[in-house]
Amino acid sequence: MPRYIALLRAINVGGRVIKMDRLRALFEALSLSEVETFIASGNVLFNSSSRSGPALERTIEKHLRASLGYEVATFVRTLAEVQQVAVHEPFSAAVTSVPYYAIYVSFLREPPPAAARRAVAALRSATDDFHIHGRELYWLSRVPFSESTIAGPRLERILGMPATSRNITSVRKLAARCADE
């Protein structure tokens, strides 16, 4: 049975707190098996007989909306896809040789259209750099998140689609966890 990871937006941020045992139970109620959470930021590993990530996203979102009372944008990836995201080197050695604070990965439902790619590229500055690869947007920030003029909602508006972001360190830990399976 295929193993997936659901990356959830709006879990344990902005006052919307959900305990991981409850989140696991919500996924198990969908007849998903071997459900595990990873870090309390909305990363859920599970098995499903479904072969469609988009269908799983819709099912999970509908169930979480009904159960929690608010929208939870959901982005489903296979284990292999998360591992590919973790090893992808989005920035050249010249870019990463200048000290930076962090690299974030925004997970999207689909590759952004050309106009959105151009709009994201226009955000490049001395403190921020961006790279889009498939359904992921990589963001290199040379300042702490709290000091940046870039934020998730702004990126979503520019992209014209929902996204959920993780620090690359968390993505790599999740990929390492997946490699153990």
Candidate CATH numbers 3.40.50.300, 3.30.390.30, 3.10.129.10, 3.30.70.1280; the one for domain 3-78: 3.30.70.1280
- Looking at the DSSP bridge assignments, the partners of residue 164 are 107
pLDDT at 122 (0 to 100): 96
> Comparing C-alpha atoms, which of 12, 4, 18, 28 is closest to residue 107?
4
Q: Which residues of the chain have pLDDT under 70?
A: 180-181
Could you give the C-alpha distances from 157 to 16, 114, 137, 161, in angstroms and in order? 22, 15, 14, 7
Q: What's the whole-model pTM score? A: 0.93
pLDDT at 181 (0 to 100): 65
Measure the CA–CA gap between 163 and 110, rounded to whole angstroms.
Answer: 10
